[in-house]
Structure 1
Amino acid sequence: MKLTDRNAVHIFSLSMPASEAEALKSPEALSSVLGTPLSRPDQAEVLDTGDISSMGLTGYLLAGFDVDPEAAAQQRARLDALTGHVLLLRAAALPPGGATLSPAPALTHIATLPELNAPPPAMTPLRSDGAKGTLGGGRAAPEPHQASRRTLLIGLIAATVLALVMFLLARSG
């Protein structure tokens, strides 16, 4: 199963004893049952639907994952009917560009819902020598010249004197 959506939550039901489902909270165990390593295991959640029975799985996805309400409404009956443990796998948990999953038989893909505000992809720091240190070289551009108060005062006095001279010349002529 190829998953390439970058802004989605993939929902799987888990057909296994509760103790095995709880063990999937370990990144290694989860990667093993998915058949692929996860780049961000914190973006995957194993959840007992009994813990959220008051709001239902659809309500939980709308509140906690900000999934598209229209898409969730179309899947509401199916999602809220799930019992036991489920796996909520954000696309951000997968390596950039997606991944091909080979899920264990105990995992059943139920739905994929688009997220409106998906978490940003993981950023790996640059490790080359060119990415280290600080940039040297040029200086910042100088600030644009702003007129000082003295310059403004001189301009105002000059304009007043000029207006007065023109007024006196106009009266005498």
Structure 2
Amino acid sequence: MEGVIHIPAGEHGVIRLFRLDMRPEQAVFLREPGALAQVLGIDALDMEQVEIFPVSDLEELGLAGYLTEGMGVPEEQITPDRERLAALEGHVMVIRSRAFGGREMRLTPAEQIKPVATYGTPGTSWSGAPIETESAKPYSAPKLAPRKARAEARRIGATLFAVVMGLVGLVLYLLVR
């Protein structure tokens, strides 16, 4: 099926750029609840993850600068499309993959919504060397003897009781005075 954009389940870190071939008031209307989802042929979309704006708003930053500096797209991905991005006029739409809520979707955009490019943002590397220190091992903190732990708890409780009773006494003194 031509014109269908498949969004896989669990997708993250993907930014899709679309050109909007429509009048400015139509582009602004897409920000209304449910309007964009309808023209994309889906049920729902998180509008917090969608941006619709005229390219002219970017002034000297330009669309390429916005994507690299504002959205974190690596420069290497933008370089081949730089001239094409600079030539875009009118309104554009940027959709982050978070807009789909991790669900699999098939977008069937209206004919006025033209896909321009898809970019990936680098993910966080959660890998690291294992921590070998003694203090990082489970249950490695020194254990208090039960008698010392009870004495510590009593001391903390007595201190809190004294502070609360002092505050109550102060409030009573100020009220009676």
TM-score range, shorter chain: 0.5 to 0.7
CA shift at 1:81, angstroms? 1.0
SS in 1 for 2:60: coil
Do the aligned residues in 1 keep the contact of 2:14 with 2:118 (CA within 8 Å)?
Answer: yes
CA shift at 1:39, angstroms? 4.2
- Say yes or no: does 1:108 pair with 2:110: no
Cα distance between partner residues in 1 of 2:140 and 2:59: 63
- Partner amino acid, structure 2, of 1:88: V
CA shift at 1:74, angstroms? 1.6
Do the aligned residues in 2 keep the contact of 1:22 with 1:46 (CA within 8 Å)?
Answer: yes
CA shift at 1:35, angstroms? 1.1
Cα distance between partner residues in 2 of 1:11 and 1:142: 51
* Residue in 2 that maps onto 1:57: 63
The 1:6/1:38 distance shift into structure 2, 3 A limit, reads farther
Q: 5+ residue gaps in structure 2?
A: 125-138, 146-177
- Say yes or no: does 1:26 pair with 2:32: yes
Do the aligned residues in 2 keep the contact of 1:45 with 1:87 (CA within 8 Å)?
Answer: yes
* Residue in 1 that maps onto 2:142: 144
* Residue in 2 that maps onto 1:36: 42
TM-score under structure 1 length normalisation = 0.65
- Say yes or no: does 1:66 pair with 2:59: no
Superposed CA offset, 1:29-59 (max 9, x none): 1111111134422001001001113111010
- Partner amino acid, structure 1, of 2:46: R
Aligned residues: 124
- Whose helix proportion is higher, 1 or 2? 2
* Residue in 1 that maps onto 2:95: 89
SS in 2 for 1:45: strand
Cα distance between partner residues in 2 of 1:14 and 1:53: 18
Deviates more, 1:68-77 or 1:32-41: 32-41
SS in 2 for 1:53: helix
SS in 1 for 2:34: helix
The 1:37/1:67 distance shift into structure 2, 3 A limit, reads farther
Give 1:98's match in structure 2, choosing from 94, 104, 124.
104
Do the aligned residues in 2 keep the contact of 1:66 with 1:117 (CA within 8 Å)?
Answer: no
- Partner amino acid, structure 1, of 2:118: T
Cα distance between partner residues in 1 of 2:33 and 2:16: 17
Larger radius of gyration: 1
Give 1:3's match in structure 2, choosing from 7, 15, 29.
7
SS in 1 for 2:80: helix
Do the aligned residues in 2 keep the contact of 1:27 with 1:38 (CA within 8 Å)?
Answer: no
Cα distance between partner residues in 1 of 2:115 and 2:78: 15
Do the aligned residues in 2 keep the contact of 1:2 with 1:100 (CA within 8 Å)?
Answer: yes
TM-score under structure 2 length normalisation = 0.64
Give 1:15's match in structure 2, choosing from 15, 21, 34.
21
Q: 5+ residue gaps in structure 1?
A: 119-140, 148-173
- Partner amino acid, structure 2, of 1:66: G
Indicate the percent of aligned positions where both proteins have the same amino acid: 31
CA RMSD in angstroms, aligned pairs only: 2.1
